[in-house]
Amino acid sequence: RLSVQETKDWDVFRALPPARGARSQSEDDFLTFLVKLLKIFAYLFTFAVVLVSGVITKGLVLLMTSQLKTNKTVPVCSKRYGILLNEKEYVAQIPIEENVVWAWVLLFSFAVPELGTWFRSTRMCVFKSWKRPSFEDFFIVWIFETLHCIGTAVLVYIVLPELDVVKGAMITNCVAFIPGLFSLLSRTKTDFRVGLKVMLDSLALACQLTGFFLWPIIHFGTESQDWRVWVIPPALLLVSFGWWENFVSDRSNVSFISYLGKIKERMWKTRYFSYMFISLWKILVFFGFMVICMSERFGNWSTIFDLKEAFNPHYIIYSEIQETLISDVPDAGIVAPMARYIPIKSEEMTPIYVFLVQALTAWLCYVFGKFACKIYIQGFSFAFPVNLTIPLTVSLLVTACGLKFEKVCAFDFMPAYLFWECKNGDILSNFISKDHAWVWIFWLLSQTWITLHIWYPKCERLASTEKLFVSPMYNSLLIDQSLALNRRKHDEGELKADDLDFNRNEANKDMSQYYETTSIHSEASNLQISKAKSSDFITRIYAVATMWHETEDEIMLMLKSILRMDEDQCARRVAQKYLKVIDPDYYEFETHIFFDDAFEVATENEDENVSNSFVKLFVSLVDKAASHVHGIDITVRPPKKFPTPYGGRLVWTLPGKTKIIVHLKDKSKIRHKKRWSQVMYMYYLLGFKLMDQPISIDRKDVIAENTYLLALDGDIDFAPTAVALLVDLMRKNHNLGAACGRIHPVGGGLMVWYQMFEYAVGHWLQKATEHVIGCVLCSPGCFSLFRGKALMDDNVMKTYTTISSQARHYVQYDQGEDRWLCTLLLQRGYRVEYSAASDAYTHAPEGFGEFYNQRRRWVPSTMANIMDLLQEYKRTVQINDNISMPYILYQ
C-alpha cells in the first residue's frame, strides 16, 4: 500500500469544499458592510434623538413656566393678524386665563410619567409576584418622594416664572446637592483614590451651593417680587431629594447613610408595590402645591379652577405703542400705551399641542436613552447628549431672545402673544457682567462630576430597566437631570441582587444544612463569593445533542454549527491570550453527543456488537464538515476510543482545540430514548464533572451559576451569535433557568409550508405573549440554553429521573420531555424566556406520516404538562415571580 509521501507527487488534484451555504451563515460582504453602517447609524441617530428631544423638552417646559407670570406684556408681531397695522408696534397683555391654562398643562406634563409609573407598577404587581415593604421603609421612601414633588412644584410655579428662561435653564444644573452629599458620605477608605474623590465631591457641593444663593443675593431689593427669588434655595434642595437612593451605600461609615443603603437593597423587591401608591400620591401633592402657588399669584384659589374660561378661546388685549421712555431699548414695562385696545381671541389648541409635543419628546428622550444603555453605546449616545442638553438649550435660548429683541416678527409661526421670558438689551453681556452667569460653568461641571458614573457603565448588554434606572420612569420637567441622576450608579453590584432569595422557605433552610447542594434555596447562595477564583466566573457552555437516525444532510448541518462554535471560541481565546484583548463574551466550549441505539449485532459474530451505520456516517462526515466551515481541505485527527459501561466513547479534538465527545449508548446496557440521554448528560456534566471536584461548595455554586447546557437536536443549524444572545439573557437575569431562540423549519413541500406558518404563530405570537405577560412554558430541546444551577436545584434534575409507571406519566414524561423539564423549572421559581433574535434552523417532517407521529407526541404532552401546572397553580404562583393568577387564567 502506498504511503501519503509516495502518492504526493502524482495525487495533486483537489476537490475543494463548496462555499458556506448554511442558512445560519447566509451573509455576504455587502450584508456585513451594511451591518457596520447600521451600527454607526444607531450611534448617531440615538445621540441625535436623545439630544434633540431633551432640548425640545427643556425648552417647552421653560416656555410653559414663562406664561405663569401675572400682568406679563409681550412685544408682538403685527403681521400675524390683519386687524393690526403693520407700521405700528404692539404689546400683548397676558390675561389670567392664559396663566391658568399653562398651570394645568404643567400639571399634565408632570402627571404623564407618574401615570406611566403607576401603570408599570400595577402591571408588575398583577402579573409578577410582589413583596410588601415594611412601614418604616415605605415611610422613608414616601418622605423623600414627597419632598422631591414639593420642590418640583415650587420650582416650576414660583421660581422659574420669576427668572428669565436663560437663568431658568442654567439653574436646573443645581438640583444635585443631595446626591452629591450622599455620594460623599458613602465613600469608604477602601475606595480607589478616596482622597481625590472626597476633594472633588466637596468642590462639587460648593459649586451646587453657589447656585442656591447667587441670584437671590444679586436680585435682593431690585425687584418688586424679590421674595420669590429667595425660594430658590429650598426649591433646589427639595428637588434634589428625588435621587437619594442612587447615591447611598450600605458600606458607608455614616450610620444614617448605611441605613438608607439597606433600604435601597430591600427596595429591589418592594419598589413596584410602593410606587403603585406613591406615584398617585405625587400627582395629588403636585396638584395641591399648584393650587397653593397659583392662588398666591391670583389672590384667590378659585381662579385656578375656571377651566371652562381657560381652555376655551379667550381674549388677548393688544395695545399699540405710541412712544417709549427710552429711545434705544423698548421695554414693555415702561411704554406708554395708546388708549385704543384691540382684543383678539387666543388660539385655544396651542397649549394642548405644546403639551403633546413635550410629553412625546420627554418619552422619546427616556426611551432612546434607555436603548443606548441597553446596547452598550451609553457613553456617546446617552451620557454625552444628556450633559450637552443644557449648554445647547442655553445657546438656543440666547439666540432666540436676541432675534426676538432685534426683530419682533422673527418667530411669526408662533402665536404672537406666546414667547419665552427674555431680558432685553445685550443679553450675553448682561449675563456675564451683571448676573455672573459664568458661574453656571461650575454648576455644569459639578453636575457632571456627581453623575460621572453614566460615562462608565458596568452592567451587561440588554440589562433590564430595573438594573439601568432606579425609579421606573422619569421626571419630564427635568428630563436631562432625571436621566443622569436616575441612571444606576452601583450597577455592577446590583447585578447580583437577583441571586438573593427573599422568600426562603424556613423548612428548606433547616434541611439544607445537611446536604451539599447548589440550590438557590441553600446556604451556598448567600456565601460571599470572595472565596471563588476568577476562573470560576468564566462562562462554560456544554453543547449537548441527542442523535438517533439522522440523515447525512442533517448531521452535516449540526456538525458545521459545532465547528463554527469551535472557530469562534478559538478566535476569542487567541485574542485574549496573545493579543491581551479583554473579551467580556469569552466562553469555554465542549460538545457532547449522545447516540441512542448506537450498536448492532456484527454480521461475522452474533455475540459481538459493533457501531451501526449512523455512527459510521457521523465519523465519516467530521472531516467534510470541517472542510466546509474553514474553506480548505482539513483532516481532523482520528478520535480517541474509550470503552465505557454504557457502550463507548469517541473523543475528537477540533481545529480550534475544543472537543467533541460522542457517547455511544448500547440499549442493552443503559436506558435509551431522548429523556434518558438528557438525564445521562445532566448527571455526567453537572454531577460527575462538577460536584465531584475536590473544591469548596461556594466555588461549585459560582461555577454552576456560569455553566450552561446548550440542548441541541441532531439536525440543528445555528450560528455562534445565536448562542451569544441566549447567554446575554442568562447574564442579565440570574433567576433565568432556560432560554430558547426562534426556530425556523426548513424543507420542501406542503407539509413544511404549513409548519412554517405554525412555527411563526407559535414563536411570533404565542411565545412572545408568554414572554411579556409571564414566562415561556416550553423551551424546545432542539435549540435551548439551560442554566446548570437551575437544573441542579431541588425537585428538578432528580425528579426528571422518575420512571414512568402510569399512562399519564408516559405522555408527560417521555413524550414531552422538554416541556416537562421546563415545568419543573417553573415550579421551582425559575423563569423561561424567549429571544426572537436568536435564530436556529431545523428540518421539519416533509411527509404526513412523520408529521402525524410528531404531533401525536406533542399535543397530548402539552395538555398533560399544562394540566400539571394548573393543578399546582397556587404553589407555583407563590414561588414563581413570573407566574400570576391572570397568567394562569390566560392558560
What pLDDT digit, counting tens, does each position of 848-891 carry? 988 888 888 888 888 988 888 888 888 888 888 888 888 888 77
Contact 152, 239 (CB under 8 A): yes
Contact 200, 448 (CB under 8 A): no
Per the model's pLDDT, the better-predicted residue between 578 and 238 turns out to be: 238
d(Cα 92, Cα 71) in Å, to the nearest integer? 10
Q: How far apart are alpha carbons 208 and 774 in whole angstroms?
A: 45
Give, in degrees to the nearest 5, the angle at Cα 227 between 299 and 168. Answer: 100
Question: Quick check: 530 pLDDT over 70?
Answer: no
Q: What is the model's pLDDT at position 438?
A: 79
Q: What per-residue confidence (pLDDT) applies to 107?
A: 97
Q: Is residue 190 scored above 80 in pLDDT?
A: yes
The answer on pLDDT for 370 being more than 50 is yes
CA distance linking residue 59 with residue 166, whole number of Å? 10
Mark 229-245 as b/e (b = at least 16 C-beta within 10 Å). Answer: bbbbbebbbbbbbbbbb
Report pLDDT for 433: 60
Helix 255-298 vs helix 177-185: angle between axes, to the nearest 10 degrees? Answer: 170
The pLDDT value given to residue 525: 39
Instruction: Give the relative orientation of helices 848-871 and 817-827 as an angle to the nearest 10 degrees.
Output: 20
DSSP state of 789: H
Neighbours of 156 (CB within 10 A): 29
Report pTM: 0.80
Q: Is the Cβ–Cβ distance between 471 and 117 less than 8 Å?
A: yes
More confident residue, 871 or 58: 58
Amino acid at 543: A
Residue 411 has pLDDT above 60, yes or no: yes
pLDDT at 258 over 90: yes
Give the H or E element holding residue 611.
strand 609-611
pLDDT band (50, 70, 90) for residue 139: very high
Q: Write down the mean pLDDT value for the chain.
A: 85
pLDDT in tens, 724-735: 999 999 988 889
Residue 219 vs residues 4, 162, 208, 213, 237: alpha-carbon distances, Å: 96, 11, 19, 10, 20
Cα separation of 286 and 107, whole Å? 7
Question: Pick from 456, 449, 489, 488: which is nearest to 173 by CA?
Answer: 449
pLDDT tens digits, one per residue of 314-336: 888 878 776 544 445 445 445 45
Cell numbers found for residue 414: 408662533
What is the SS3 string spanning 210-251? Answer: HHHHHHHHHCCCCCCCHHHHCCHHHHHHHHHHHHHHHHCCCC
Output 537 or 1, whichever has higher pLDDT: 537
